[in-house]
A and B are shown apart, each in its own frame.
Chain A
């Protein structure tokens, strides 16, 4: 067993143990401590993995492969490269923080159990190299998130939870059909039934099939990311889910979509990705602008951050389909950055909601005078989101725009508008909530030490990654340049060599 097995097994085992811990009400805290302990050990594992990670290589590390379902050629096949590594780190950090934030939860058992299961599923998704295994983990994330949203959410969370589940499930429906089709095409060509990613990368696809498969994969990831126009579930969900769950949903699970685009769309369909880059780039840019404009019009802080998230994820999509090392590295780094500052901003929103019971900008105002430290942390996070040089958002966005400008100039030019717009609506929001006249004379408690401690690691990361992103970039770069090379060197889509493939697909009916 490698460290990856443990990364998945530990929280999964924890999720099995927690439901059995039927403790008297006064000892419920023990369950909470148990959850925190597991999350911290998991973080330790992830850091250990980052230390042991070999630099300057783009191959998969910590590989483990065991046969699982022989009849379909499915294996328990895990491995991590630079992109997986940083996302595993992000997951471990955010889950540890989310574990600390549960406050006012009545049923710790359900809560901790679902969180641990979700962590196992996220870790599995980021490291699976078998397409079936990936799909299983990808789907598995839905079940605990559904329960976290519906049982612990704010307001009409049940409907939002079902909407979330059905939207993402519909997306992954296409993904499953795509995966199985690809596997069968590969089976007809080579006579080798397997779901393993490295093997399937060598499938020869006729043009029409390749485009359809690319779209099937992209649909699932576009819903999860979310990419315009598949984003309609996200404002409702982010608004009504409990804060720790949103930290995970927006911080970690949104990255599953972008990760899937890199890992599967780019690696499995390199030539198609080049062919359809215009589509994805356009959707990304539209998302950037649309998200920013709608965010500027939102009165509700939760929904505003959801739309700003759509806008920021647009940048990530832009970098992925720029096909330059700078762009892809920037996207990967930006996934981490976005996870960190989104988590921080949602924690802060949660604290506002706890104090005032509302996230409506019109009912808030003048908070800076009442809570200066709170406002200070808030503006730092907001500046990180805007992309102020010296903070983490800047590095990612800069690399993405640079990388895109090299290869796809005009999209980059339009996307820059998004940077300006995001400064507009975020600062406007800050102004309305923290400056101006207070709407009432109720006091607003400043950051408590516990809350400050919770935010400290995130704020520290925002600053550190803004000043010194090299430790992450040095781990990301070999992988991203290998992927960019893979995409660039793939033979163009055409019908050359395809007739034979087509014939075998059409005739080969028997399994």
Chain B
């Protein structure tokens, strides 16, 4: 009886292209190396070593992806590992963006996170693992592999969000993120199951082939599956109305983790979303575009409007990231190769900006003695006097997020607007730009606070002494010069990239326009 259930045939493994999955192997391997080292040379003795390995892995992953991109340009894209992995320009470009986000986080994050999570290898390991998940999602050509990547990414993020164990807010955030994240994964998986039921495959290319050669008389199951998949992605990118977790999580997570999460979760989820929608369901465009339009418009409007009411900076940036998600969704709903390019540009520009922004907020928190916790607008009032460099750099990044000219944020907004206009959705472009104007108000409120003359909340002591001295109580974190160096390198790099690609966007545009999805 069992003979019919258990196949007698030997299991045939597909041939594995190690070159195609090189990026994942590098990151995952580095994570294992860090863990093994920490077990042998001592957990807390060598934080610099772990970070060095992480940085090296991130750079190597970027270089490998760049090389893949070069090879793909020469020889064309292909599918690998029995069609489960897509080795195309899109995944290589996302690999490069992931590498950039990872390098910046490796530079900025560990110095701060050490203060809350100790000097162990956990942070670096989890960063590497989550980035592995992101790359799996970008390469996945099969809904099950998408789910695999999603879980690798998410589980690492759940842990990182809960790093500040002693803080109730952080515990709440981690729990909320875990419960809602798990729930959304389940919804996603249910959607995958329905799509499998309707089309007989989880492979994106096979789904597309099936849908182009068959006419479904009753396509309800398929459409419901697509809708559930969109809901799952909506949770991950925190698009309205699936955004309720994000302000709490952004506030509760350690600041560096927030910045990383804002960047990496978006890169990964949007990469997978773009590929799934463009490859598998391109023929169903007329059905899913209205859903994506609704998600985009709601995210744009509510992200901008709710942010106006926030006085807590990390919560405000959470709503701002919802607004950004709406902008990136514009590129998705266009569903053209131009839209893919513009979404990728936005993702790259946004990731760099947001990681730098949260790095600077971490620095301000160190000054204010609030280690990686929450930070209110009043805390940064008059910062321009006390820490001009921090204030100016933060102002540049905030203005870039608002879309000021000659920053990459401006070109990013411009390019997604062109994407929706090219498919004749003019009113959405108008809505998007109007929300950008509303969003400018809260960004400017932050900038206004930074350079405010009104120092009512700041005592005489604050004005007289450098702030690092003021925090001198034992609760405050004092960063050694050695750990400040990489932090400043990371922050300057993020500002420099933001301004450079604002002045010369052609370089980045050329890169992301090579990110073509293969199908």
Contacts and interface: CB of A to CB of B under 8 A. Distances in A.
Nearest to A509: B423
Contacts of B451: 147, 150-151
B422 A184 contact: yes
Interface of B is mostly: helix
Contacts of B414: 132, 176, 180
Contacts of A165: 440-441, 444
Interface stretch (A166-174, A337-345, A416-424, A480-488): A166-174
Contacts of A428: none
Interface in A372-427: none
A184 B424 CA distance: 9
A328 B8 CA distance: 90
Interface string A119-143: 0000000000000100011011011
Contact of A177 (B399, B419, B423, B433): B433
B424 A506 contact: yes
Contacts, number: 101
A166 B448 contact: no
Contacts of B426: 177, 181, 212
A72 interface: yes
Contact of A509 (B336, B429, B434): B336
A212 B427 CA distance: 11
B70 interface: no
Interface stretch (B51-59, B170-178, B180-188, B503-511): B503-511
A69 B429 contact: no
A497 interface: no
Contact of B430 (A161, A177, A506, A511): A177
Interface stretch (B60-68, B354-362, B404-412): B404-412
Given A143-B404, A146-B444, A170-B434, A177 B336 contact: no
Chain A interface mostly helix, strand, loop or mixed? Answer: helix
A69 B437 contact: no
Interface string A206-247: 000000100000000000000000000000000000000000
Given A158-B452, A180-B418, A173 B430 contact: yes
Interface in A306-347: none
Interface in B330-369: 336-338
B417 A176 contact: yes
Contact of A72 (B336, B418, B440, B453): B418
A184 B392 CA distance: 37
A76 to B, nearest CB: 11
A184 B336 contact: no
A256 B509 CA distance: 30
Contacts of B417: 176-177, 180
B37 to A, nearest CB: 43
B436 interface: yes
B421 A177 contact: yes
B434 A173 contact: yes
B311 to A, nearest CB: 15
A448 interface: no
B354 to A, nearest CB: 20
Contacts of A151: 451, 453
Interface in A467-511: 505-506, 509-511
A68 to B, nearest CB: 7
Interface in B448-463: 448, 451-453
A136 B430 CA distance: 18
B430 A174 contact: yes
Given A71-B510, A143-B399, A177-B430, A169 B418 contact: no
Given A69-B506, A174-B433, A511 B438 contact: no
A181 B510 CA distance: 23
A15 B509 CA distance: 28
B404 A511 contact: no
B445 interface: yes
Given A72-B509, A136-B410, A212-B426, 9 more contacts: A71-B506, A146-B444, A162-B441, A162-B444, A169-B437, A181-B421, A510-B337, A510-B338, A511-B418
22 contacts: A69-B509, A71-B506, A136-B410, A139-B404, A139-B410, A142-B404, A150-B451, A170-B434, A170-B437, A173-B430, A173-B436, A174-B430, A176-B414, A176-B433, A177-B421, A180-B418, A180-B429, A184-B421, A509-B422, A509-B423, A510-B422, A511-B418
Interface of B: 336-338, 392, 399, 404-406, 410-411, 414-415, 417-419, 421-424, 426, 429-430, 433-434, 436-438, 440-441, 444-445, 448, 451-453, 505-506, 509-510, 513
